[in-house]
Every structure is written in C-alpha cells, then in structure tokens.
Homo-oligomer: A and B are copies of this chain.
Amino acid sequence: MNNFEYYAPTRMIFGRDTQKNVGGIIKQYGYNKVLLHYGGGSIKKTGLYDAVKLSIRGAGVEFIELGGVEPNPKLSLVLEGDKICRENGIELVLAVGGGSVIDSAKLIAIAAKNDGDPWDFSLKKRNPTAALPIGVILTLSASGSEMSSSAVITNQDGLLKRGYSTSFHRPLFAICNPELTYTVNNFQTGCGIVDIMMHTLERYFSNSADTDLTDRIAESLIRSTIDAGRVAIGNPQDYDARATLMWASSLSHNDLTGMGRNVFMAVHQMEHELSGMYDFVAHGAGLSVLFPAWAKYVYKQNPKRFAQYAERVWGCAEGGAIEQTALEGIMRTERFFEEIGMPTRLSQLGVSGDGITEMADKCTFHGGRTLPGYIELDAAGIRAVFELAL
C-alpha cells in the first residue's frame, strides 16, 4: 500500500427536500452574497430555479445570476463569472446543476481570488493560493465533482480540454436530493452510470499491490452502481436507485476508491481529447467507447487484476483460465454499457478514424509526455486504443 493523503471535507446534505433549505445553509456559514451559477433551461422547467431563489431570498442572501454553462464548460464563461465576482464582492459561488456547472463554478471560484489568466491553472503553470467557497445543488449523478478536487474546462482556442486538481476545488457543501434527478433522461442517466463506474475503474486498474480494503470498497461501489443503474434506467423515479447513483457519484471521485494506489486516469485523458475535438460527444459516452477498447489493449499485461474484477464484480466463476476470466469481465462490462443504451464504438458516436492521429498527438502534449498507469501508453499505444474503438 502506498502512502496517501485523504482529504474530503465537503459537507454532504443528502436526501429528499434538502434543496429547500439552501438559503439557510448559506446563512449558517455567514455568507450574504452569492453567484447563482447554472446551465441551460432545465432547472427553470423543473421548478428548481424558482425554489432556489425563494430559499435564498427568504434567508436574506443577495445573489447575482450567471446561467448558460454548456456541456464541456468553456473558459469564456469562467472569465465572465470571474468579472462578476470581483465587481460585486461575491462571497460564495453556488452551482446548481451537474458536473459542467460545478466545474465552471470551481474555476470561477479560483479565478476570482487569483490575478492573471485562470487558464494557467488548467495548464498547471501555477497554483492558486486562495478561492471563494463553493456550494452545490446537484441535479445529475455522474461527475462526482460535488465532492472531488478536480475540474475540467475547455478552452475554445485550440479545442483544448484540461483537468486541474486542487483542494480549493472541494465544495464547502453539496446538497444532493435524488428526486432532482428523476427528470434526467435515459441517455444522460447512462452517461452518468458510466462516469461513476469509470472514476472507480480507473483507480482500480493501476499497478499497486496490497490494497485489499480499497479494492473491496471500489468493487462494492461498482456493483451497487450496476444494480441501481439497471433499476433507474427502467424506472427513472425509483428513489433508492437514484439515491444509490447519487451517493456513488460522490464517493467514486472523492478519492476513497483509490487510497493507497497509484492513480492516473488514462482513459479520462483520452476521452478529454475525444470530446475536446468532437464537442457533440458526451463525456460518459466517450468513456463507454474507450474503456472496453483500452481494457482489451492492456489486460494481458496483468490479467490477474482484471480476473479479480470479473470474479468479484461480475460473479464470473473463480479458478478458470486467468486470461479468459479477465476477458470475460471486460466483455460483461461492454455488454452492460450496451444494455443501458450506451455506445461502445466510435462509429456509434459519429466519429471516424480521421482524427485519431491528432487526438493521440494532443494527448501526449505533442510528444511531451506518455500516459502512465496500468501500462504506459505513448502516442502509438493511444492510437491503437482509439483504433480498437472504431
């Protein structure tokens, strides 16, 4: 087991009706002026927007709105949020939405407290020294951003999508009401299920030994997500299934499932190139295409761990030929993605092989890095994974 630090200080406020007290919660912390940050119109259609404003106003908290966050959130809106925060003395950024809104809020919260170009952080050129606190009302179980240290932003110049991690990104509080996800359609629910599983699988498939407790927690989380995922796709208003997905979303990316292991999320890195170049590709859909391809490319290097996954998560018979069991686990995962309506081929995304060389080049920072992890991938390896996904 490797040495590690675990620091997940976000206060999770979980369950029915919890969003109704958001104003009171903000006030508990003594904040009086917030940026209300959200995406498109969905929160207005569901009534959440009105409920949030009612609660905030009722608590005597002032707010300024900034909507319009898109999937794959853009740096341009971050810069707009930064300006609003600085000009209006904003004390807390309240993200109402899913991962894109939260990630946009995270970058705004940093930008507002550090001078200079905030894209520098995404490029890891420098580290922030302070940030505004972030509150969340979660409407999508997927990214885990509500409890994570990371945020992914796309810079339209060059279509670059980059993740950045800092403890300043951990939200102060996250209000998680599973009922707010009842209206999420099956495709987005499927994307979320894949994203939750992938945050866990990417931590699980690394070459660290002797992490039995972390392994078992990860396997638990994946099993529960599979079971709840099937139920939620069949009955979008099943409270307990939606609740399991929501709590799994937070735990999948708050670091718990990787403690003591080397973690490098290679498939996420490749997917960022994919949805960075093809803006119409949803993150979860990109992952459901790329994970099976990646797994088929790498599993023979260390089939034992893939076999453990197959046995403990998918109930594959123990004691068989190890490579066969390993492959069966990968195929079961791929079939599950298909069962919940997710694509497993680039062609299903409407993406041809034309961009593979460019994506692989960008993913290596134009030859400046390889991807470490289960096996090290250089540009040729990355191309091979993309080609297996065609």
Contact = CB atoms under 8 A, between A and B. Distances in A.
Contacts of A5: 11-14
A6 B15 contact: no
Interface string A197-222: 00000000000001011101101110
Contacts of A3: 14-16, 18
Interface stretch (A238-246, A297-305, A319-327): A238-246
A227 B211 CA distance: 12
A73 B264 CA distance: 44
A252 B256 CA distance: 13
Interface string A248-281: 1001000010011000000000000000000000
B221 A259 contact: no
A259 B213 CA distance: 18
A14 B7 contact: no
Contacts of A259: 14, 247
B216 A223 contact: yes
Nearest to A220: B216
A183 interface: no
A54 to B, nearest CB: 20
Question: Which 4 pairs of residues, A with B, have the shortest CB-CB distance?
Answer: A3-B15, A216-B220, A9-B9, A210-B240
Interface of A: 1-9, 11-16, 18, 210, 212-214, 216-217, 219-221, 223-224, 227-228, 239-240, 243-244, 247-248, 251, 256, 259-260
